[in-house]
Homo-oligomer: A and B are copies of this chain.
Amino acid sequence: MSIPPPVYDPPFNVTRASHAVLSVKDLGKSRAFYVDLIGFIVSHEDKDAIYLRGVAEACHHSLVLRRGDAPQCERVGMRVFTEEDLEKAKAWFDKAGLPAAWVERPYQGRTLHVSDALGAPLEFCATMDLKPRLIVDFEHHHGAVPQRLDHFQLLVPDVRRECEFYMRLGFRLSEYISPDGSDELLFVFLQRKGNPHDIVFAPGAGPRFHHVAFAIPESYLFFYVCDLASNMGFAENIEFGPGRHGPGHALFVYMRDPDGHRIELFNTHYQVMDIENEPVRWDASYAMKRRWQLPARRQWFVEASPFAGVAPRDPPRKGDPMTLERYVAG
């Protein structure tokens, strides 16, 4: 098995990871976490939902929290460039025999609901309502000062299949992890927008939503947001980090929201646009090696939000990651 080939002339033009729609049990608690602690800007809120954006975003929302009984991820949202790309996407999914349905979503242009090769629910839209970009409205900056949504990570039982599927749609493989001496695709980092990630697939029971990542601008803010979290009673919500990634290279901290949904805050990373940039391979033994932080707890590897209406399937082989629990046991 080899790396799937890049597709430079995709069937429709996906431009970037756009937004996540999460259901949460208590909007007030979620607001305390996302707005009062992390520093998201509220674009709209009512009794049923809160629409959030980062300070550098002019789009209406990159995170939608909807009140619901069972915390889950409803959809992962991507942008296509034009309305015509939406039409092409509909035709492509229809032809592929995959679900694809037009819907109306507030503050978004016409929206297409689809499922990917493993059933993960996506939505595509070409436009959103515009909101002011608050990047230099410093009096509205707070907490970690989240700038913008960067990427998603999903747990899936068949990483190669997702990799092939998204690469057929024009996603480029920026980095991947394989077992030492093997071509198996363990972890794949796929991108459309010219930096290394828009969507990442990791092995596990799924498809499930592992995390959504937002860029923050200064390493100082990793400490500040953790300190603030501690003062506000959110210390236990800090799951992993601050630390330094191997693949992707950024500083990171992972937090769990009041419903257990996971977000990553990380600082911005490298640009990857040139055609000569081949995917970077990491041997699993090297990628999983400690940079300097201790390993993640087991929960980081196995816990994830279910997708609405999607029953996770187990992968063929169970993983055996180097968890913190294994590390301290020696």
Contact = CB atoms under 8 A, between A and B. Distances in A.
A148 interface: yes
B228 A15 contact: no
A328 B297 contact: yes
Interface residues of A, number: 64
Contact of A227 (B128, B218, B232, B292): B292
A244 B226 contact: yes
B56 A271 contact: yes
A265 interface: no
A228 to B, nearest CB: 5
Contact of A274 (B15, B56, B244): B15
Interface in A262-293: 267-277, 290-293
B273 A15 contact: yes
A130 B276 contact: yes
A320 interface: no
| 3 cross-chain pairs, A with B, having the tightest CB-CB distances, nearest first | A226-B292, A56-B270, A230-B292
A235 interface: yes
A219 B271 CA distance: 20
A83 B127 CA distance: 32
B249 A223 contact: no
A135 B267 CA distance: 13
